[in-house]
């Protein structure tokens, strides 16, 4: 045990982490928290310029390397895993955060939207994890378990007013998948948990704060009367990836200011 008990309990210093979709929104928030806590963080998304910009921003706080990649298909997952493998033989923390949603009327919901969302939000986390298992296993031990955090949504726990059918199916699928993977990876000392965000400001939720009037009305409807903050998403991820969270695996944790529990 280190002399600093706080660091022993909550520390992620020098752990190697990968955050998909880490260039903006919730992924950027989680990556910032990990970087500021001293982890060696890789972030990834499709756009090279967004990667470069996020890497520059986060490098002000510590170690951050961006690797462009598309985790919406198996070849992209394997390519990103190979890029990680070239740089590190260990991966202590994997945050499968990249995701997209799609809304359309139930009578017109297109197959294209079904496949696109399922591919990124459900298939991607499975195949990226599969491709990174050698690095996750190499990082894991009974004393320091590796941590996979799959980012779901409260929409998969409680229906919303959004007609986001493939998104709900994909995120609910991701939750079931996480439980199965937690069971199967337990003997490898790898934890798998789900962070289910409520409302966070991001490109995905931009229509909810399109102007001050809309935002005021929307925020008044939130249980705690505010958006999720960087510390909320990052704090839960750091907790799950530190000694303090080691005894949790296979759980879905809403990070939503009480929305799914007290409404």
Ligand X SMILES: NC(=O)c1ccc[n+]([C@@H]2O[C@H](COP(=O)([O-])OP(=O)(O)OC[C@H]3O[C@@H](n4cnc5c(N)ncnc54)[C@H](OP(=O)(O)O)[C@@H]3O)[C@@H](O)[C@H]2O)c1
Report the catalytic residues: 167
- Alpha-carbon separation of residue 110 from 19, 84, 102 (angstroms): 29, 35, 10
Q: Does 13 bind ligand X (CB under 6 A)?
A: no
**Between residues 11 and 22, which has the closer beta carbon with respect to ligand X?**
22
> 24 and 44 in contact (C-beta within 8 Å)?
no
Q: Does 70 bind ligand X (CB under 6 A)?
A: yes
> 194 and 178 in contact (C-beta within 8 Å)?
yes
Nearest to 93 by CA among 212, 230, 220, 242: 242
In the complex, what is the shortest distance from the CB of residue 117 to ligand X, in angstroms, rounded to a whole number? 9
Contacts of 127 (CB under 8 A, 6+ apart): 74, 77, 78
Interacting residue with ligand X among 16, 64, 71, 177 (CB under 6 A): 71
Q: Does 77 bind ligand X (CB under 6 A)?
A: no
DSSP assignment of 110-132, as one string? -HHHHHHHHIIIIIHHHHHHHHH
**Between residues 144 and 208, which has the closer beta carbon with respect to ligand X?**
208
Contacts of 64 (CB under 8 A, 6+ apart): 31, 35, 41, 42, 43, 54, 55, 58
Q: Does 72 bind ligand X (CB under 6 A)?
A: yes
Q: Does 204 bind ligand X (CB under 6 A)?
A: yes
How far apart are alpha carbons 224 and 7 in whole angstroms? 30
Interacting residue with ligand X among 6, 203, 207, 213 (CB under 6 A): 203
Binding to ligand X (CB under 6 A): which residues in 158-197? 197
Alpha helices in the chain (DSSP H): 5-10, 25-36, 48-58, 74-87, 111-118, 124-139, 165-185, 212-220, 230-241
Please identify, among the stretches 8-16, 17-25, 81-89, 209-217, the one whose residues bind ligand X according to the rule CB under 6 A.
Answer: 17-25
| Helices and strands counted in the chain (H then E) | 9, 7
In the complex, what is the shortest distance from the CB of residue 172 to ligand X, in angstroms, rounded to a whole number? 12
Interacting residue with ligand X among 151, 192, 240, 259 (CB under 6 A): 151
**Between residues 26 and 238, which has the closer beta carbon with respect to ligand X?**
26
Interacting residue with ligand X among 8, 47, 87, 183 (CB under 6 A): 47
**Between residues 43 and 140, which has the closer beta carbon with respect to ligand X?**
43
Q: Does 49 bind ligand X (CB under 6 A)?
A: no
- Contact residues: ligand X, CB under 6 A: 20-21, 23-27, 45-47, 50, 70-72, 97-100, 120, 151, 153, 197, 199-200, 202-205
């Amino acid at each position: 045990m280190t002399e600093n008990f706080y660091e022993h309990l909550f520390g992620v210093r020098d752990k190697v982490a990968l955050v998909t979709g880490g260039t903006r929104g919730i992924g950027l928030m989680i990556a910032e928290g990990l970087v500021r806590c001293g982890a060696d963080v890789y972030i990834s998304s499709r756009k090279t310029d967004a990667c470069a910009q996020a890497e520059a921003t986060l490098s002000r706080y510590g170690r951050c390397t961006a690797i462009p990649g598309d985790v919406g298909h198996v070849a992209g997952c394997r390519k990103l895993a190979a890029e990680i493998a070239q740089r590190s033989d260990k991966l202590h923390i994997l945050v499968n955060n990249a995701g997209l949603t799609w809304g359309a009327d139930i009578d017109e919901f297109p197959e294209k939207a079904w496949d696109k969302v399922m591919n990124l939000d459900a298939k991607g986390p499975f195949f990226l994890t599969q491709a990174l298992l050698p690095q996750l296993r190499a990082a894991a031990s009974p004393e320091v378990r590796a941590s996979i955090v799959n980012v779901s949504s409260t929409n998969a726990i409680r229906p919303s007013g959004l007609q986001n059918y493939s998104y709900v199916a994909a995120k609910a699928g991701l939750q079931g998948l996480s439980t199965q993977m937690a069971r199967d990876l337990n003997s490898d000392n790898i934890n798998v948990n789900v962070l289910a965000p409520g409302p966070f400001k991001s490109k995905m939720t931009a229509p909810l704060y399109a102007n001050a009037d809309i935002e005021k009305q929307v925020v008044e409807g939130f249980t705690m009367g505010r958006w999720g903050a960087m510390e909320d998403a990052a704090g839960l991820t750091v907790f799950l990836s530190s000694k303090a969270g080691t005894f949790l695996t296979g759980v879905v944790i809403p990070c939503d200011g009480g929305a799914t529990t007290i409404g």
